[in-house]
């Protein structure tokens, strides 16, 4: 298995000094290409901090992070944003869609930043929306869609340009159980197509859908197992 993510002895310390918070405390972790990993832990355990690190949205206080063998732990903001654009699709709990834009325009937006031309952009975005079952909703704005549909738009946005890594932070946190199941099943399909999927969650029910489960507590990895209950679809 080829290494995709390699985190080496990473610490993240907020407010160094008296009130310091050690959000990540000597974390080391390897994730191979094509894995399906859930990172689980209680509120405040450091999940989002880890996700921000893995997603090149933040840099560690100490330690190193290699993505595809490239040291991304000490890059400038611009360099990080290049890596993000190339490698990572994000799905957030709050969908993070732009209310004034249609579903199609929301999916297209990051492609505009990546310099993809109009025709190709539209094609990629329409394909992505069809893939998440929203082919009939492309001109709807976020407030004209259910939470589950909005999250599917966010997934379409994350996958439009087929990034190798899908990083999801509590992707079903704001959804009812029916919509959650839909979203998880879409995420599983993307995994089956060869994407590397990393889901961050505090919900054991979501975590046990993944093939590998990493548990974090107080900024440390306390368990890292192949899920015995994993069912291939
Ligand atoms: N910008 C910040 N400044 C100071 N402390 C922070 C900051 N961001 C996070 N923390 C602290 O770091 C620790 C880890 O936070 P983090 O957001 O990673 O937790 P989490 O596991 O994602 O929690 P939740 O499940 O509630 O989202 C917490 O104690 C939090 O208070
Ligand atoms: Mg969090």
Average pLDDT over residues 203-210: 92
Q: Which of 10, 18, 20, 21 to mutate to test the pocket of ligand 1 (most atoms within 8 A of CB)?
A: 21
Using a 10 angstrom Cβ sphere, with 0-12 exposed, 13-18 middle and 19 or more buried, the burial of residue 178 is: exposed
Q: Is 49 in the pocket of ligand 1 (CB under 6 A)?
A: yes
Q: Is 46 in the pocket of ligand 1 (CB under 6 A)?
A: yes
Domains and CATH numbers, the chain: 3-97+148-226 (3.40.50.300)
pLDDT tens digit string along 94-149?
889 999 999 999 999 999 988 899 999 999 999 999 999 999 999 999 999 999 99
Indicate whether 1 pLDDT > 90.
Answer: no
Nearest-CA residue for atom 24 of ligand 1? 43
Q: Is 173 in the pocket of ligand 1 (CB under 6 A)?
A: no
Q: What is the mean pLDDT of the chain?
A: 93
Q: Which two tokens stand for residue 222?
A: 């306390």
pTM: 0.91
Indicate whether 34 pLDDT > 80.
Answer: yes
CB burial string 138-148: b at 16+ within 10 A, e below? bebbbeebebb
Q: What are phi and psi of 220, to 5 degrees?
A: -125, 150
């Amino acid at each position: 298995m080829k290494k995709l993510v390699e985190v080496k002895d990473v610490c993240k310390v907020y407010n160094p000094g008296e009130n310091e918070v050690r959000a990540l405390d000597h974390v080391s972790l390897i994730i191979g290409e094509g894995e399906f990993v859930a990172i689980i832990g209680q509120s405040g355990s450091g999940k989002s901090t880890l996700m921000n690190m893995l997603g090149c949205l933040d840099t560690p206080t100490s330690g190193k992070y290699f993505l595809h063998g490239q040291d991304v732990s000490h890059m400038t903001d611009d360099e990080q944003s290049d890596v993000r654009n190339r490698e990572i699709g994000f799905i957030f709990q709050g969908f993070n869609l732009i209310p004034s834009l249609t579903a199609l325009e929301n999916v297209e937006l990051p492609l505009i930043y990546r310099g993809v031309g109009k025709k190709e952009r539209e094609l990629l975005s329409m394909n992505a929306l069809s893939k998440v079952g929203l082919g009939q909703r492309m001109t709807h704005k976020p407030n004209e869609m259910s939470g589950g549909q909005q999250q599917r738009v966010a997934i379409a946005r994350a996958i439009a340009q087929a990034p190798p890594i899908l990083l999801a932070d509590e992707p079903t946190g704001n959804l009812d159980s029916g919509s959650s199941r839909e979203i998880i099943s879409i995420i599983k399909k993307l995994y089956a197509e060869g994407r590397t999927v990393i889901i961050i969650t505090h919900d054991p029910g979501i975590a046990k859908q993944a093939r590998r489960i990493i548990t974090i507590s107080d900024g440390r990895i306390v368990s890292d197992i192949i899920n015995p209950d994993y069912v291939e679809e």
